[in-house]
Structure 1
Amino acid sequence: MAPRANWKGFLRLSLVTCPVALYPATSDTEKVSFNQVNRKTGHRIKYAKVDAETGEEVAAEDIMKGYKVDTDTYIEITKDELDDIALESTRTIEIDEFVPKADIDSRYLIRPYYLVPDGKVGHDAFAVIRETIRNLNKVAIGRVVLTNREHVIALEPLGKGLLGTLLRYPYEVRDEKEYFDDVQDVKITKDMLDLAKHIVEQKSADFDPEEFDDRYETALIELINQKRNGLPVAKPAPKSTGNVINLMDALKRSLANEKQAPAPTKAKGKKPKKRVEGQREMLLPIAGSGSGAGKRAAKEEPKKAEKPVRAPTRAKKAG
Structure 2
Amino acid sequence: MAPRANWKGFLRLSLVTCPVALYPATSDTEKVSFNQINRKTGHRIKYAKVDADTGEEVAAEDIMKGYKIDTDTYIEVSKDELDDIALESTRTIEIDEFVPKTDIDNRYLIRPYYLVPDGKVGHDAFAVIRETIKSMNKVAIGRVVLTNREHIIALEPLDKGLMGTLLRYPYEVRSEKEYFDDIQDVKVTKDMLDLAKHIVEQKSGSFEPEEFEDRYESALIELINQKRNGVTTAAKAAPKTAGNVINLMDALKRSLASEKQSAPAAAKETGKAKGKKPKKAASGQREMLLPISGGGKRAVKEAVKETPKKAEKPVRTPARSKKAG
TM-score above 0.5, yes or no: yes
Contact 2:130 2:162 in 1 (8 A): yes
Looking at structure 2, the residues matched to 49 and 212 of structure 1 have their Cα atoms a distance apart, in angstroms, of 41
Deviation at residue 174 of structure 1 after TM alignment: 0.8
TM-score (norm 2): 0.83
| Partner residue, 1:270 | 276
Looking at structure 1, the residues matched to 91 and 305 of structure 2 have their Cα atoms a distance apart, in angstroms, of 52
- Per mean C-alpha deviation after superposition, the further-off stretch among 272-281 and 108-117 is 272-281
Distance 1:56 1:119, change over 3 A: farther
What are the residue-to-residue correspondences of 1:114-263 with 2, within 5 Å?
114-245=114-245, 246-261=247-262, 262-263=265-266
Contact 2:33 2:297 in 1 (8 A): no
Distance 1:9 1:288, change over 3 A: closer
Partner letter of residue 314 of structure 2?
E
Partner letter of residue 248 of structure 1?
M
- Per mean C-alpha deviation after superposition, the further-off stretch among 175-184 and 256-265 is 256-265
Q: Deviations over 1:2-49 (max 9, x none)?
A: 211111222111222222111111111111111111122211111122
Looking at structure 1, the residues matched to 27 and 36 of structure 2 have their Cα atoms a distance apart, in angstroms, of 22
- Per mean C-alpha deviation after superposition, the further-off stretch among 140-149 and 173-182 is 140-149
Partner letter of residue 235 of structure 2?
K
Looking at structure 2, the residues matched to 289 and 22 of structure 1 have their Cα atoms a distance apart, in angstroms, of 39
Distance 1:188 1:96, change over 3 A: same
Contact 2:152 2:167 in 1 (8 A): yes
**Runs (5+) with no aligned partner, structure 1:** 303-307, 314-319
Looking at structure 1, the residues matched to 278 and 4 of structure 2 have their Cα atoms a distance apart, in angstroms, of 28
Partner letter of residue 197 of structure 1?
K
Contact 1:22 1:114 in 2 (8 A): yes
Matched, 1:301 2:314: yes
Deviation at residue 83 of structure 1 after TM alignment: 3.6
Deviation at residue 164 of structure 1 after TM alignment: 0.7
Contact 1:224 1:283 in 2 (8 A): no
Distance 1:96 1:281, change over 3 A: same
| Partner residue, 1:4 | 4
Looking at structure 2, the residues matched to 169 and 145 of structure 1 have their Cα atoms a distance apart, in angstroms, of 14
| Partner residue, 1:316 | none
Contact 1:225 1:283 in 2 (8 A): no
Aligned identity (percent) is: 80
Contact 2:88 2:148 in 1 (8 A): no
TM-score (norm 1): 0.84
Distance 1:82 1:231, change over 3 A: same
**Runs (5+) with no aligned partner, structure 2:** 287-294
Partner letter of residue 233 of structure 2?
V
Q: Secondary structure at the match of 1:112?
A: strand
| RMSD after superposition | 2.9
Q: Secondary structure at the match of 2:82?
A: helix
Deviation at residue 288 of structure 1 after TM alignment: 10
Matched, 1:55 2:55: yes
Aligned length, in residue pairs: 303
Contact 1:89 1:143 in 2 (8 A): no
Distance 1:287 1:52, change over 3 A: closer
Distance 1:99 1:89, change over 3 A: farther
Contact 1:96 1:140 in 2 (8 A): yes
Contact 1:13 1:129 in 2 (8 A): yes
Contact 2:29 2:297 in 1 (8 A): no
Looking at structure 2, the residues matched to 284 and 92 of structure 1 have their Cα atoms a distance apart, in angstroms, of 41
- Per mean C-alpha deviation after superposition, the further-off stretch among 51-60 and 153-162 is 51-60
Partner letter of residue 161 of structure 2?
G
Looking at structure 2, the residues matched to 287 and 83 of structure 1 have their Cα atoms a distance apart, in angstroms, of 43
Distance 1:123 1:58, change over 3 A: farther
